[in-house]
Amino acid sequence: MMGERRTGASLDAMGSGHNRSISPRQPDPAPQAEPERGLVVAVLGPGIEADEELAELRELARTAGVVPVGEVSQHRSHPDPRTYVGKGKLEELKTAYADARADVLLVDGELQPVQQRRLENELSARVVDRTQLILDIFAQHARSAEGKLQVELAQLEYNLPRMRGMWQHLERLGGGVGTRGPGETQLETDRRIAGRRVALLRRRLRELSRQRQVRRQRRQRSETPTVALAGYTNVGKSTLLNRLTDAGVSVDNRLFETLDPTTRGFEYEGRRYLVTDTVGFIRRLPTQLVEGFAATLEETLVADLVVHVLDASAGDERLEVMRGAVEGVLGEIGAGELPIEIVLNKIDAVDPLRRRRLENRYPGAVQASALTGEGIEELRERIAARFAGRFESVSLLVPYEDGARLNELYALGAPISERVDRPDGVLVRALLPYAELRRFAQYLVAEARAETAQSSR
C-alpha cells in the first residue's frame, strides 16, 4: 500500500511489473511507518500555473500516505506518446528523482501502458499515475462489502489493458508466425482469470443493487422525499449530513473519506425527509471509478432533489472547477436533469465581504456551516419548500370497522397533526401524498377543524 516506505505490497504491484497484484482492501498506513517520498511530474497545457494545478495531486499523495518531496513540470500541448515528458525533460526528471531520494514517481495524469513501462525503465523507479493513486486511496477507505467489490472491479478494469507488460520478458521466447510462446500463453490465462473475476464482481454488485432497489421501493411507497448530497470530495458533505440528521458518520478531514452511501432522515414541521451522503467527486475522476461506483452513484440518480455542496472557503476559480467537475459527473450518470439546491458550506470561514460576493455569484444559494450550525434551519426549510406541493392537507373520518385503512395511513408515514376518536370513527387531519388521495377518497370530510372543535366539546 502507499504510505509505508518500501514495505507496501500495493505500490510494488503498482510500479515495476505493472500491478501484478490487486488488493481489494488495504489498511491505512501504519502510524509508525516511515512515509514514502514521492516526486511529482506533470505535463501542463500552455499558460497553466503548475503550483495551483498540482495542489490536488499533492493532497491526493498525502491522503495515500506519500510525502511529496519535489515537482517537475513541462508545458506542452500533449504528453509525449512514449515517455510522457519530452526527451530533454526526461533527463532532468532522472536527475531530480535521484537527487530527491524518492521512492515513487507520481504522475498527474493517466499513463498509457507504454508510457508507464518506459518511465519505469528509464528511472528504474516505481511509477504511479493519478488513476492508480486514487484507486489506492479508495482501497484504503473501502469499508462495506459493496465498497470493496467496487474498488476491486475498478482496479481490475484499470489493470486489464496493462497486463501485457507483466509478461513482456517471456514473450521473447515465442517463435514466429504460427507459434505461441509461454509468455503469450500465460498472458491469455491471466486475462481469462481476470475476465472471469470481473464478471463475478459485476454479478455480485448487481445483486447488491437489487437489494438496494427493494429498500428504495419501500421508501418510495411511503412517498418520503429523498435528497442526495453531492459535491467535491472534502467539502463537508458528511458533516452536513450529521448536522441535518444526527447521523454520526465519519468526518475525518481527508479526501474520499466517504465511499459508501449513508441514508438518514430528519423531520421538519411534521414531515420526514431522507438524506443520502454519496462518494465525493473529483476533477478528472477515473472512468473506472465512475463505472465501478455506478451502484453507489445511482442513489443520486433516484433522488428527488440533489443538494450540491460547495466549499465557500475556496477561491472563485477553484469553486468553479469543483462545481464543473461535480456537474460533469452528474451528467455522466444521468442525474444532470434533477432539481438542484446549492449550499455554500464552511461559511463560518468567510468574512462579510466575501459572503456578499458569494451571494451575488450564487443568488439563492443557502449559506451554511455544518460545523457551527449556521444556516442549517434555513436549509431544512428550503428542502421542505421543494416538496410542499407533494402533499395535500386532508381530513379523514375512518369508521372503526375500516381500522385496517387507518393502519395503512400510518404505514405511509404521512404526518398526522390531529386525531380524535368519535362515536362514528376516527377523525384525523394529515398531510397525504397526492398519489394516495384516490385510495382514501371515500373517507375525506370537509370542515374538519370545525367538526373537531364540536366533537371535543
Tell me which of 131 and 293 has the higher pLDDT: 131
pLDDT digits (tens, 9 = 90+) for 155-212: 888 888 777 555 444 444 444 444 344 555 666 777 788 888 888 888 887 887 777 6
What count of other Cβ atoms lies within 10 Å of the Cβ of residue 124?
Answer: 10
pLDDT digits (tens, 9 = 90+) for 381-420: 999 988 877 777 889 999 999 888 888 888 776 678 889 9
> Of 236, 189, 456, which is closest to residue 343 (Cα–Cα)?
236
Q: What dotted CATH number matches 390-455? A: 3.30.70.240
Q: Which residue is associated with the grid cell 500491478?
A: 19
Q: Rounded to an integer, what distance in angstroms lies between the CA atom of residue 111 and that of residue 117?
A: 10
Amino acid at 260: D
Strand order in the sheet with 366-367: 262-268, 271-277, 226-231, 305-311, 340-345, 366-367
pLDDT digits (tens, 9 = 90+) for 370-389: 999 999 999 999 999 888 77
Specify which of 109-118, 148-157, 259-268, 359-368 reaches the highest per-range mean pLDDT.
Answer: 359-368
Please report the pLDDT score of residue 19 as a whole number.
42
Please report the pLDDT score of residue 157 as a whole number.
83
Q: Is CATH 3.40.50.11060 correct for 9-141? A: yes
In this prediction, residue 259 has a pLDDT band, given cuts at 50, 70 and 90, of low
Average the pLDDT over 218-235 and give the result. 77
Specify which of 57-66, 87-96, 157-166, 227-236 reaches the highest per-range mean pLDDT.
Answer: 87-96
User: CB of 415 within 8 A of CB of 430?
Assistant: yes
Mean pLDDT over each residue of the chain, to the nearest integer: 79
In this prediction, residue 26 has a pLDDT band, given cuts at 50, 70 and 90, of very low
Q: Which fold, 223-386?
A: Rossmann fold (3.40.50)
pLDDT above 70: residue 2? no
390-455 matches 9-141 in CATH topology: no
Please report the pLDDT score of residue 7 as a whole number.
36
Listed by start position, the domains of the chain span: 9-141, 223-386, 390-455
